Structure 1
Amino acid sequence: MASHGEAPLLTARGLTKFYGDAAVLQDLSFEIRSGEILGLLGPNGAGKTTTLHILLGLLKPTSGEVSFLGLSPLRDRVKIAEKLNFSSAYGSMPANLTVGENLDIMARLYRVSDAPARIRSVLELFEMEPLRHRLAGALSAGEKTKLNLAKSLLNDPLLLILDEPTASLDPDMADKVRQLLVRVQREKKIGIIYTSHNMHEVETLCSRVIFIHRGRRIAEGTPAEVLTQCSARTLEQAFIKMVRSGDLVAREEGS
Structure 2
Amino acid sequence: MLAIQASRLEKNFKNVRAVDGVSLDIEEGEIVGLLGPNGAGKTTTIFMLLGITSPDLGSVRLLGHPMPGERTAALEQCNFAATYLELPYRMTVREILEVSCDLYGAPFRRVDAVAGLFGIEHLMSKMSKDMSSGQRTLVVVARALVNRPRVLFLDEPTASLDPAIAQRVRHTLLHVHAEDGTTIVITSHNMADIERLCSRVAFMARGRIVADDTPGEIVARFGAQNLEETFLSVAAGQTGEAAKPEGVPA
TM-score by length of 2: 0.92
Partner of 1:125: 117
Partner of 1:69: 63
8 Å contact 2:28–2:182 — kept in the other structure? yes
**Alignment: residue pair count:** 241
Q: Which runs of 4+ in 1 moved over 4 A?
A: 246-249
8 Å contact 2:31–2:183 — kept in the other structure? yes
8 Å contact 1:200–1:236 — kept in the other structure? no
How far does residue 77 in structure 1 lie from its aligned partner after superposition?
2.3
Partner of 1:4: none
8 Å contact 2:36–2:234 — kept in the other structure? no
Specify the code of the residue in structure 2 equivalent to 1:198. N
How far does residue 136 in structure 1 lie from its aligned partner after superposition?
1.2
How far does residue 160 in structure 1 lie from its aligned partner after superposition?
0.4
Partner of 1:190: 182
Partner of 1:106: 100
8 Å contact 2:35–2:187 — kept in the other structure? yes
Q: Provide Cα deviations, 1:57-101, integer angstroms capped at 9, x if missing partner.
A: 111111111101211331222212221000112211111111111
Partner of 2:247: none
Structure 1 residues 35 and 15: CA distance shift in structure 2, 3 A? same
Q: CA RMSD in A?
A: 1.6
How far does residue 248 in structure 1 lie from its aligned partner after superposition?
9.5
Q: Provide Cα deviations, 1:176-234, integer angstroms capped at 9, x if missing partner.
A: 11111111111211110010011232122110001111101111100011012111110
Partner of 2:246: none
How far does residue 29 in structure 1 lie from its aligned partner after superposition?
0.6
Q: Does 1:16 align with 2:10?
A: yes
How far does residue 131 in structure 1 lie from its aligned partner after superposition?
1.4
Q: Does 1:245 align with 2:237?
A: yes
Partner of 2:76: 82
Q: Does 1:214 align with 2:206?
A: yes
| Cα distance in 1 for residues equivalent to 2:238 and 2:222 | 13
Q: Provide Cα deviations, 1:7-43, integer angstroms capped at 9, x if missing partner.
A: 2111111110011221110000111122211000000
8 Å contact 1:24–1:50 — kept in the other structure? yes
Q: Tell me the SS of whatever aligns to 1:9.
A: strand
| Cα distance in 1 for residues equivalent to 2:237 and 2:133 | 35
Specify the code of the residue in structure 2 equivalent to 1:127. G
How far does residue 147 in structure 1 lie from its aligned partner after superposition?
0.6
| Cα distance in 2 for residues equivalent to 1:74 and 1:20 | 21
Specify the code of the residue in structure 2 equivalent to 1:83. Q
Output aligned runs, 1:22-171, within 5 Å.
Answer: 22-112=16-106, 114=107, 116-171=108-163
8 Å contact 1:56–1:73 — kept in the other structure? yes
8 Å contact 1:82–1:110 — kept in the other structure? yes
